[in-house]
Amino acid sequence: MAEDPVESLIKDTASVINDFASAETTHKKYLKSLETLTADGAASSKALKHVSYVSSQIKKDIHALNKSGTALTDEQKQKLQHAKAELDKVNEKLKTLQYDLPAENSGLYLSIILGSALNVTLLDANSRYRYKKDYESFKMTVTYVVLVMLFLCYMFPSRAIDALANFLLVWYYCTLTIRESILRVNRSRIKGWWVTHHYISCVIAGITLTWNDGECYKESRNLLIGLTAYVSLLQLLQHRYQTGCLRRLHSLGQRDDMDITVEGFSSWMFKGLTFLIPFLLVGYFVQAYCGYCLYAMYFSKKSCGEEWQVIVLSMLFFLVAAGNLITILAVVIRKVTTDSKLNITDLTAKYHPKKE
């Protein structure tokens, strides 16, 4: 005999009420854990700060004792040296532990944009890895769209398409600065210059967007399109290198035998850099050349001399080319001269969960 439909619905409702009661219990448990987690996070942060403060005081005292000229036996000197080495190890470990705690503030830029109450810290290694991967994919996707827009600008010269392409660039660079600020809160080591470079690129695109459609604009647009296309191609090459590094750092952290893979990572990184750097240098040369062409235009053509955009863009291109060149030299010198093994141990800590 078929079941009474009303009874069946009542039975289902009772089952839903039961399920809800159990879901509510689980949710309460979750809220309790969250409360405990927040309290434990604050306690851990306080404890780490205390250790950091005391260890820096002891190091200062050791330094002062060594400088004071107090007569010390060889054994005492050795003991002090050993203590200092131990404190250095503690400081290195402290840095790694701090990766897992919320940052105290997100900085002025993010506080203005997102509000100071929003905490943008990613607490576990997998989330940091996924966020960084997503940042790289975002750059690549938008770069393809930019290339399509530049192709349209070149094929169908029109102020409207140019404006659309420049608007896209303003939005892109603006978004990059926000994402990069979030990455920096999450202990990314992006050099300040690369972020500044993206602020300046945003200003350059903004100036080009508002530039009158006059003779000087028309004369410079092919050069600007060419430069932007080259920079976009560079970004695709960079994407290959950066995602390669990221993938390797992530999997490096997953293995137990670090030594073999660390060597593999270093050799891959240097090969990648050797391939990339000549293209980057050509890019900086093209940026400086753009700066020079605009500079020459400003002083040689009366009509261009009356447009502030020409000289401001020229100065910004010189600034970007010089900043890029200096930073890339600093990066290469640092990579060649520092102890890569120490750095890698530190770097991998960011992208792999601790196994304990």
Stretch that binds ligand COA, among 105-113, 161-169, 236-244, 253-261 (CB under 6 A): 236-244
Among residues 114 and 331, whose Cβ is nearest to ligand COA?
A: 331
Given a contact cutoff of 8 angstroms between Cβ atoms, the answer to whether 266 and 348 are in contact is no
Q: Which amino acid is at 55?
A: S
242 near ligand COA, judged by CB under 6 A: yes
Task: Identify which of 126, 130, 162, 123 has the alpha carbon closest to the alpha carbon of residue 146.
Answer: 162
Among residues 66 and 327, whose Cβ is nearest to ligand COA?
A: 327
From the list 91, 188, 243, 266, which residue makes contact with ligand COA (rule: CB under 6 A)? 188
Give the x-and-dash track for 118-157 against ligand COA (CB under 6 A).
--------------x-------------------------
In the block, residue with structure tokens 């300040």: 192
Stretch that binds ligand COA, among 40-48, 147-155, 183-191, 203-211 (CB under 6 A): 183-191
Q: Give Cα 137 distance to the centre of its chain.
A: 13
From the list 183, 204, 262, 349, which residue makes contact with ligand COA (rule: CB under 6 A)? 183
Alpha-carbon span 76 to 60, nearest angstrom: 17
Among residues 284 and 304, whose Cβ is nearest to ligand COA?
A: 284
3-state helix, strand, coil in the chain (%, to 5): 85, 0, 15
The DSSP call for residue 224 is H
Given a contact cutoff of 8 angstroms between Cβ atoms, the answer to whether 237 and 276 are in contact is yes
Alpha-carbon span 79 to 77, nearest angstrom: 5
From the list 90, 147, 245, 311, which residue makes contact with ligand COA (rule: CB under 6 A)? 245
- Residues numbered 272 to 331 that lie near ligand COA (CB under 6 A) are 273, 276, 280, 283, 324, 328, 331
Coil vs helix vs strand at 300 = helix
Binding site for ligand COA (CB under 6 A): 132, 183, 188-191, 194, 231, 234, 238, 241-242, 245, 273, 276, 280, 283, 324, 328, 331
